[in-house]
Structure 1
Amino acid sequence: MATKFGLAGRLAAWGERSQITPLLALFGLLLGVMAAFITPREEEPQIDVTMADVMVAFPGARADQVEQQLATPLEQHFSRMQGIEHIYSVSQAGQALVTVQFEVGVARDKALLELFDSLASWQQGHPQTSQPLVKARGIDDVPILGLTLTSSDLDLKSVADTLRAPLQNVSGVRDIAIIGAEPEQLSVTLDTTALAQVGLDISQVAQALTRQNVSTQAGYRLAQGEQIAVQAGGFIASAQELRELIVAVVDGRPVRLEQVATVSSGANRPSRYVWSRTKGAQAEPAVTMTVTKKAGENAVDVAAAVLQRLADLEQQWLPPELEVAVTRNYGQTADDKASKLIQKLIFATISVVALVLFALGKREAVVVGSAVVLTLATTLFASWAWGFTLNRVSLFALIFSIGILVDDAIVVVENIHRHLALGKSLKEAIPPAVDEVGGPTILATFTVIAALLPMAFVSGLMGPYMSPIPINASLGMLLSLIIALTVTPWLARHILSDHSASKADSQPTPDAEPKAGRLQRLFSALMRPLLESRKRRYFMGAGLIVLIVAMLGLAAVQAVVMKMLPFDDKSEIKLVLDMPEGSSLEQTNGLLLQLAEKLDEVPEVTATQIYAGTASPIGFNGLVRQYYLRRQAHQGDIQVSLAAKGERDRASHEVALAIRPLLAPLVEAAGARLKVVEVPPGPPVMAPIVAEVYGPSAIAREQAAEQVQRELAATAGVVDVDTTLVAQRGPDETAEEVWQINTARATQLGVQPEQALLTLQTALSGLPVTYVAALDQLQPVPVKLYLPANWQGQVRQLEALTVTSNSGASVPLSALLEPVPVPLQQPRYHKDLRPVVYVTADMAGELDSPLYGLFAAAGAIDLPQSYITQPPEWDQAALKWDGEWQITYETFRDMGLAYAVGLLLIYLLVVGHFGSYGTPLVIMAPIPLTLIGIMPGHALLGAQFTATSMIGMIALAGIIVRNSILLVDFVRLSVAAGKPINDAVIEAAAVRTQPIVLTAIAAMMGAFFILDDPIFNGLAVSLIFGIAVSTVLTLLVIPLLYASLLKRQQAKVNAL
């Protein structure tokens, strides 16, 4: 009579015999190879987060007016939209900036469509406001490539403009931006003496230039029955034409512009400086070109294609004196990271196969190795089909999964190996062996998936960042199960030989399982005293509970430091400088050059790029922190390039810690503030420590913010303390002036108020009047009127400027305008419709985790405090802690919920399989035992307990449960066959030790290959130490607990 198999046995029998099995395996392998070539490579996962900056001008309004009349109504209008995560705004004199951040996962096109619809409806009710400028921001706005051009002889802007078109033409390139070049313009510097001689004022010159630079399509005229288009007027086409324009006629003689002004190309005064400096050399003027890629394009391919195009251009026509340095190449770093991780994946696979070779034999190793390669190939294809790229997280998911992906194949092959050792033929051994472990293997696979998959639903930025781990691992587990039940039997039938596992002849040996016999004696000696004594079992249980509590205490005494994510080792660091408000561009530039020179003392620094009055190329961090808005004269950046990882002893984080005290004396002497900004290891935040200070009035908020700032600065280890309050320069210094116009006096004198205002603007910052439509320029060139630079700051000279009245008389500004000093108005910040002041800081102490600095400062601050939501207090100052704390709380909260859901799913699966409510509790009992390994492991290696540590801990729940299932299922079948309970549990421990230990070592070996990664180090530590300790304890605890449960059930049955 034929044996009746379950699902696993039937699949194994089909797979073993079917001729289509090897074809399906080959097809899966080819799909994996294809996926390896076509999957885009990136360094970090793409996070679909959309932000939009809405900038609205309100000329002449002070900050409080802008806040009340523009920013607040606009925020309230935007808040009606769906899918909004946060709304931020900042109101300054003359303009408002409202930033709308959509929830993670909201499609960019949908988000922007809704935003533009909302903005259009708002404009209908506010026609008096200027046209808003909307700038959508997303991950694709982060440049993948930075090219810094230097030359002592060339016009770098012209070279960059010339390079833009051929580089933009490269497939996959989204945009080319040029940083550092002054905007193309023609500066008209007026000669006040010459103007006075001919009786002209500034407004008359501006009107003359504007009115003469006009052209229009006048219409058509008929000529001999045909229509001829008529264009009237014409645009100024060159600087020479501009010079020759007639601006007035005096005494019948024309006055040309060149007689009363000097026309020059470029800005009258520089608005930014960019320098490039190699270690030990002088800084050279530079221009940086940045390249962004289109969504979905392979960063590696796009960067390589751009650099190849640049190399071709260098050979063809680029001048030899031009030097081009690649100061950013995220394509190369992504390729290097992916290649390194793929190598680790190969080594991890080889190590697992070597483990099977050592434990079971070479033929078994070939079977397991083939199954693992096929599983990885199909998982890679599934990952591509899901939409993931090849990045550090998705590849780490495969490496970390290698140990659990191989479990199904190892369990199946090991059981076939055991059956062969009993003297069975391959035909007799394979289906029953697979069927015997098939049920628990299927269940164990789904328990691992149940533990991992809920992590895919973590909210916030961290969710999509880490989602490749649970999704790829779950896909891999499902595919490995299918392969283990179908392809592995076919491989075993064709590769293994009869009785090969026993390494003897065709007759089984008298002692077919000597190893199992030795293990049975060992477990009998260990377990019988515990099985026969309830007191000993209770004592052992109490000892384990005490151990678990003690291990949790390691975090309480800071032997294990809690942190969101540790810093990665990168090749770049950014220094962000803020000089005192009102500092000149030259002062900012001078300090930046001093700082760059001082960095020569850091051995790891190879080069710097200095940006004064403009922002350096942004990363994802700069995108979230809006560094691209840093364009004021008192702001600057230094992009620090470090030596390659193999050429330096210190990691980038250690270098960053060393830079701060080195530069502090120079920064403090200038009264400036410097932040050392590292590339974040995960989703970025505004700052590691952020205090949002709320209050009923601006004064209350400012006073509370100053208190928070003082307490943070006094907290050990807290550095880079800053605030959004603008620092006053001194009690005797004027921060702002309002030049008030006497409109009644202006009317009496026959002067339009606008004339006076335009004259003052020309003197102080320049007056845009028209443009030149030169054919050799891609865009029209603006024309701007200036007065000589020495007029700035000279109140008496400014007051002596004249405007012409309706009667032709010259009227000095002093008769119309009066400068009145006014108190400085701070920028007005809002978050989610509430006024706020931000205080930011970083942590660089011994603990190196912002959470400890935050909680230390929080205890010293005498204000109502909230940690999760905005404070409920509206009638007094209060603060909410944000920054890394917020993302840590949200991530660990969601991971904790995912852990709980995973445990519930595991419980339901096990109840469904065993038909018992008590058995699942026994099977899940070892889960807490993982802490006995995890926490000491972190303390021993000095590793921080991070989000990836938590991922490892969650994965362990599924891994350990599968071991329990193998043990319990064996005991259940043995007891059903009539074996005594004590003998059955001892035999189960002995027989199942080899597959359990093999799968445990395989998982640990996979984790060893990610132990050296700064970010995923915590995951590796959790897996290695958690598996090592819990596996040993599981082999003892599960049999004992299950034996107690069976005896209790048996006693209840006997009592009936």
Structure 2
Amino acid sequence: MNHEQNTPLGISGRLAASFQNSALTPLLALVALLLGFFAIAVTPKEEEPQIDVTFANIFIAYPGASAKEVEQLIAIPAQQVLAELAGVDDIFSISSPGQAVLTVAFEVGIPRQEAIVNLYNQIESHRDWLPQGLNIPKPIIKPMGIDDVPIMALTLSTKPSNGQQTFSHEDLTRIAHSLETELKTIPGTRDVYTLGEHKSVLAVTLDSNRMNGHGITFADISQRLQGANVGGQLSPIIENNQVIKLRAGAFLNSVDDVKNLVIANSTGVTTALGDESGGESGGLVYLSDIATITLQADSPSNYVLIKTPENPHGQAAVTLVIAKQPGTNAVDITNNVSDHLISLQNRLIPDAVLVTETRNYGITAESKSNKLIGKLLFATLAVVLLVLATMSWREAIIVGSAIFITLAFTLFASWVWGFTLNRVSLFALIFSIGILVDDAIVVVENIHRHMHLEKGKKSSLLTLIPKAVDEVGSPTILATFTVIAALMPMAFVTGLMGPYMSPIPINASTGMLISLLVAFIITPWLAFKLLNHSNTHTSAHNDGSADGSEASQTETKTYLFFQRLMSPFITNAKAGRNRLILMLATATLILMAVSLPVMKLVVLKMLPFDNKSELQIMVDMPEGTALEQTLRVLDDLSDYAIKIKEVKDIEIYAGSTAPINFNGLVRQYYLRQAPHQGDLQINLVDKSHRDRQSHEIALALRAPLQDIGKRFNANVKIVEVPPGPPVMAPISAEVYGLSYPQQRQASREIEAIFKQADDVVDVDTWLEAPQQQWNLVIQRNRAMMLGLSEQSITQAITAATSGWDISYLHSDQQKYALPIRLRLGQQSRDQIEQLQVLKVRNQSGAMIALGEVVKLEKESIEQTIYHKNQRPVMFVTADMAGPLDSPLYGLFDIAGRIQAQHPNWQQKYIAQPSTPGTAQNVEIKWDGEWQITYETFRDMGIAYGIGMILIYLLVVAQFRSYLIPLVVMAPIPLTIVGVMPGHALLGAQFTATSMIGMIALAGIIVRNSILLVDFINQQLAQGMALEQAVIQSAAVRAKPIILTGIAAMTGAFFILDDPIFNGLAISLIFGILVSTLMTLILIPLLFFVLKKDEQKVNRA
């Protein structure tokens, strides 16, 4: 004992001695608490972590070109240019007749601004790759990122109770446009735009018979309209020493201005037409004489309707969506928008208009944040009660204070790191509760034990506390860094999953460092202040010691328990055989646990489904389907869905997409604008008001909705909000081949195999349905002989069929420019033969009918050509729904069927497909959830291995031995004995969060080994026999080990009910439970064997 008293204090003891009675200590604690409250106040609240994931769509028009020509002249050269960019993950291209759309997906983590600047620079500095002389317009670049996801959606419709006034899509569009301007003034808002808008146009509907009768062509009308709508500022003049500004021209400002526009000068035309009231005056032909001019709604390109259980028939609607700026608080912005809407009621929003919040991520973020902060407090309270039950109320106050101070400063550190308050960062803190409190519990328990040992002696707390802290200081420091060594490598996981889950390793590691400092600085001060006046502090220590000596602990109940338990393996005559049996039994348990996933008793999945309040139904009709038919199908689907009791409201989007979420951003749903495409946005009542989870509702909806879709030949897919980083599709097969026709044929065969597989649903391909089109072929030679230019013919055809926005009406009452659109009447446009009688003027002024120079030919529309990373590709996609509910099993089932039916086809799971020209047959690259699962578990496995190496090096540095670290790390494999059976017992899937729990367990469980081995070494250094030291280590360290284990399990219990993070909770609870109990026996025994062999060698 004298040797122990003369031993100089280490760094932990010196810190405790310096701060245990310092006036600075409480100030440090107060500053930490205040910084924590500051962090809570200023840290933005969001539902999901903010990830730097940047996409860019590049639109390049090539009017009149075929899909193959677009591919060769636009898409392929563009991909080659874009492939030179650093930091690009994937490049996709879509070549369709007349246009190429390229998508550049940057690597996760590259800042948005850097990515966009590099992209613009690359395109602008390589403009020469576009063929010269083809009149190809400048590429349009539209970057997309996480901040383009709207945090709020407001759907405007007519109030059901309003029987007198009904608002049309056009009326609602005008109201929405006025609200856009108002809401954009709210700080923090970014994009504010309207979905489902029906814009107005000044329609000039031409009568082809009257035009022909007057000898007027489209060119005449267009030139007159453009010429009449020109004006501008001229150079000023000086008059009487005054500068007089000049302005020339008069714009077309009203409908009457357009109606009264003189188009031509004609005489006797009315007689020729047999109409004496043609409105002509003095031989003048006005535009109103040959056209009907009205201010009306544009031809609808989309429809939005809203249905509720109270109004199941639906109302015309538009949806106003609001995105936020980076780094702003979603809660504040949505609250400000809601307040501002109230002030606009009866001013910009008529009383009869209903504004429905169909998305509010601010409310969900605040609800999730408040719920998790509540769990954080309850977890802290549970740990404090645990200490109260095992020691005393004074020690409980000390531990509780240490937790609050640690959490407060960790929240501040999280804000400094740039994290927001979101579900992942808060779950990281709840998960950390159990390990953050370990240091404080170990220190407090050892102070408590030393006070008991010094009972009856005149020892001062000023000397006792530093000594007690120093005794456990070295193993505590080592144990803290082993946990950090296990966690920190996870921060370097690549792909979407890495930054998504990064708050867990970074916040937890930061918290561990802070908790270590709190345990050595704040905890001794609290112990000195609270335990200095305690006379009952020994009551909680149940060792039953009478004289307070160290040796008397050999007579305690705990010591006797472990003596009886371990004697058969230490002092028994057959101890060696018994140890061998124990080791074999342990190995058998590990093998049985590992076999559970192989036998599918534990299902492997990336992440389980979350319980969200929204679902999306995607509908794809055959290409060429009219918008109204798509709307009809969506209406029938919504009629069924609105009857589900959990449904709050449904928004129908025909010819448009619903407001995108993170999943829609990655899958580029914002490009779904075709008439044959549509969505149902289903909003559910809050999960606190329903029994079924959103995934259960989705499973129940799939079959009935797909049966309805089959009646209309519609492909109906149920899309749930993914619990983590999204992928293009859960099961995705990229099909490569020798030729594009071969790829298409292979895709059809693969699609059939997909449909044969069990539990594989929502099967789809990117193949398009066959479509026919009329090709108006201009007979060039005949047109030239008749003196007609192809440009004039093309303009006339365009105006006659699609309509031609020839100019704009100048109005200060419109937010968006009001186009003046020339077009034929609907009947003439829909009857293609009517175009042939339309006339154009040749160079000599003669009128020539289009039918003389235009030939109608019916032909098939070309299929779109897809490329990925410069290789032609076709996609077959699907999802998985069934007992296993994991796309991985469906993928491997399909892969096996393909191998059986097409043994010559190559299937690649990891390697990329062959370069173009080297492929020998059809190649399939499996992507989707498999790819992100493989990358995530690969990186986590690497992180796990790096963590093991770091832990080994730390322990080697501490104990100066190569063999002792192997003993210390021996419990790591034992965690799987608890983890896998725990998942099987609860019927839970083994997910990425389960893996995070296993990695964390490596650091947590090694802490226990370090405490045991360090104590044995201390006792051996004091001359105690090896057998007694081994047993006593388990007896003395059992209490802090069990306390810290229960504390970690307690924190995990509070995240057990979360669908995503319950895998993490299960790993921690069952892993700690089993490995802690086994560690108390196996580690002392392994150390005993190691030391006994060393002693034999030394004696020899």
For the aligned pair, the TM-score class normalised by the smaller chain equals over 0.9
- After superposition, where does 1:336-355 map in structure 2 within 5 Å? 336-355=367-386
> CA deviation digits over 1:576-616, x for unaligned, max 9?
11111000011001111111111133221121000111111
Alignment of 1:21-60 (within 5 A): 21-60=25-64
Give the match for residue 1052 of structure 1: 1097
Q: Confirm or deny that 1:547 pairs with 2:582.
A: no
Letter in 1 for 2:42: I
Task: Write the distance in 2 (CA, Å) between the matches of 1:903 and 1:791.
Answer: 77
**CA distance 1:315–1:1035, shift in 2 (3 Å):** farther
CA distance in 2, matches of 1:888, 1:910: 32
Aligned equivalent of 2:271: none
Partner of 1:1000: 1045
Contact 1:1003 1:1023 in 2 (8 A): yes
Match of 2:440 among 409, 412, 430: 409
Partner of 1:400: 431
Matched, 1:148 2:119: no
Is 1:763 the equivalent of 2:808? Answer: no
Note if 1:636 corresponds to 2:652. no
The letter for the 1-side match of 2:806 is: V
SS at match of 1:677: strand
Please tell me whether residue 200 in structure 1 is matched to residue 242 in structure 2. no
Equivalence for 1:957: 1002
Partner of 1:942: 987
- The one-character-per-residue Cα deviations of 1:180-212 (angstroms, maximum 9, x if unpaired) are 112332222112222222122233222221222
Q: Which residue in 1 is equivalent to 2:11?
A: 7
C-alpha offsets along residues 438-458 of structure 1, whole Å, 9 cap, x if unaligned? 000000000000000000000
When residues 511 and 1008 of structure 1 are mapped into structure 2, their CA distance, relative to the original with a 3 A threshold, is farther
Q: CA deviation at 1:510?
A: 1.6
Which of 549, 561, 565 is the equivalent residue of 1:522? 561
Deviation at 1:398, TM superposition (A): 0.2
- Residue aligning to 1:98: 102
- Give the alignment partner of residue 650 of structure 1, picking from 692, 706, 725: 692
Instruction: Identify the residue that residue 119 of structure 1 maps to in structure 2.
Output: 123
| Pairing 1:264–2:294 present | yes
Which moved further from structure 2: 537-546 or 997-1006?
A: 537-546
1:226 Cα offset (Å): 5.0
Residue 277 of structure 2 is matched in structure 1 by: none
Which stretch of the first structure deviates more once superposed, 111-120 or 192-201?
A: 192-201
Match of 2:190 in 1: 174
- Map of 1:298 onto structure 2: 329
- Asked whether 1:510 is paired with 2:546, we answer yes
What does residue 731 of structure 1 align with?
Answer: none
Select between 247-256 and 928-937 the one with higher mean Cα deviation. Answer: 247-256
Does structure 2 retain, via aligned residues, the 8 Å contact 1:770–1:784? yes
* Amino acid corresponding to residue 795 of structure 1 in structure 2: I
Match of 2:68, as an amino acid?
A: D
Deviation digits for residues 215-253 of structure 1, max 9, x if unmatched?
233434443455533332232222221222112222262
Secondary structure of residue in 1 paired with 2:813: coil
Matched with 1:308 is 339
Q: 1:634, 1:509 → 2: CA distance? A: 83
Paired residue secondary structure (1:601):
coil
Correspondence for 1:185: 201
Say which SS state the counterpart of residue 185 (structure 1) adopts. Answer: strand
Mean Cα displacement is larger for which, 843-852 or 744-753? 744-753
Which stretch shifts more, 51-60 or 190-199? 190-199
Q: Sequence identity of aligned pairs in percent? A: 51
**Map of 2:145 onto structure 1:** 138
Q: Deviations over 1:269-294 (max 9, x none)?
A: 21111101112522100011011111
Distance 1:591 1:301 in 2: 39
- Contact map agreement 1:40 1:299 (CA 8 A) in 2: yes
TM-score by length of 2: 0.93
| AA in 2 matched with 1:636 | G
Give the whole-Å Cα distance in 2 for the aligned partners of 1:229 and 1:660: 69
Residue 1086 of structure 2: aligned partner = 1041
Tell me which amino acid in the other structure corresponds to 1:112: I
- 1:547-946 to structure 2, matched below 5 A, reads 547-728=589-770, 735-861=772-898, 862=902, 863-872=905-914, 874-946=919-991
Residue 515 of structure 1: how far off its partner (Å): 11
Structure 1 counterpart SS, 2:698: helix
User: Does the aligned pair in 2 maintain the 1:573–1:641 contact within 8 Å?
Assistant: yes
Instruction: Report the Cα offset of residue 499 of structure 1.
Output: 4.8
Q: Does 1:284 align with 2:315?
A: yes
Q: Does 2:93 match 1:84? A: no
Q: Partners in 2 of 1:263 and 1:627 — Cα distance?
A: 37
Do the aligned residues in 1 keep the contact of 2:252 with 2:258 (CA within 8 Å)?
yes
Counterpart in 2 of 1:986?
1031
Task: Report the CA distance between 1:952 and its aligned residue.
Answer: 0.2
Number of residue equivalences = 1049
Letter in 1 for 2:696: E
Q: Offset at 1:1006? A: 0.2
From 524, 537, 551, the equivalent of 1:501 is 537
2:136 counterpart residue number: 129
| Shift of residue 165, structure 1, vs aligned partner | 1.7
Counterparts in 2 of 1:294 and 1:792: CA distance versus 1, 3 Å? same
Q: Distance in 2 between matches of 1:983 and 1:953?
A: 33
Distance of 1:480 and 1:97 partners within structure 2: 53
> How far apart, CA to CA, are the structure 1 residues paired with 2:309 and 2:547?
73
Task: Look up the SS of the partner of 2:717 in the other structure.
Answer: strand
Counterpart residue identity of residue 836, structure 1: V
**Aligned partners of 1:130, 1:948: CA distance in 2, in Å?**
48
Question: Partners in 1 of 2:799 and 2:621 — Cα distance?
Answer: 26
Displacement of 1:303? 0.6
The alignment status of 1:481 with 2:494, answered yes or no, reads: no
* Gap change, CA 1:504 and 1:923, over 3 Å in 2: closer
CA contact (8 A) 2:554 2:560 kept: no
Instruction: Give the whole-Å Cα distance in 2 for the aligned partners of 1:322 and 1:280.
Output: 16
Task: Decide which moves more: 1008-1017 or 690-699.
Answer: 690-699
Give 1:793 deviation, angstroms. Answer: 4.0
Aligned residues of 1:189 and 1:268 also touching (Cα < 8 A): no
Structure 1 distance, partners of 2:642, 2:420, is 38
Instruction: Deviation per CA, 1:1010-1041: give whole Å up to 9, x if none.
Output: 00000001000000000000000000110000
Shift of the alpha carbon at 1:699? Answer: 0.4
Contact 1:426 1:498 in 2 (8 A): no
CA root-mean-square deviation: 1.7
TM-score for both structures, normalised by structure 1: 0.97
Which amino acid in the other structure matches residue 265 of structure 1? L
Question: Contact 1:516–1:991 at 8 Å: present in 2 too?
Answer: no
CA contact (8 A) 1:268 1:786 kept: no
Residues 762 and 879 of structure 2 are in contact (CA less than 8 Å); yes or no, is this contact kept in structure 1?
A: yes
Does the residue aligned with 1:119 lie in a helix, a strand or coil? helix
Q: Which whole-Å deviations, capped at 9, do the CAs of 1:133-160 have from their partners, x for residues lacking one?
A: 1111011100001000002534111111
Q: Distance in 1 between matches of 2:388 and 2:564?
A: 30
SS of corresponding position for 1:17: coil
- Give the distance between the partners of 2:777 and 2:633, measured in 1 at CA: 36
Q: Check the 8 A contact 2:57/2:141 in 1, yes or no.
A: yes
Instruction: Supply the distance in 2 between the matched residues of 1:509 and 1:932 (Cα, whole angstroms).
Output: 36
The change in CA–CA distance for 1:39 and 1:90 in structure 2 (over 3 A counts) is: same
CA distance in 2, matches of 1:280, 1:792: 41
CA distance in 2, matches of 1:58, 1:573: 38
Q: Identify which of 359, 365, 368 aligns with 2:396.
A: 365
Answer whether contact 2:179 2:348 (CA < 8 A) is retained.
Answer: no
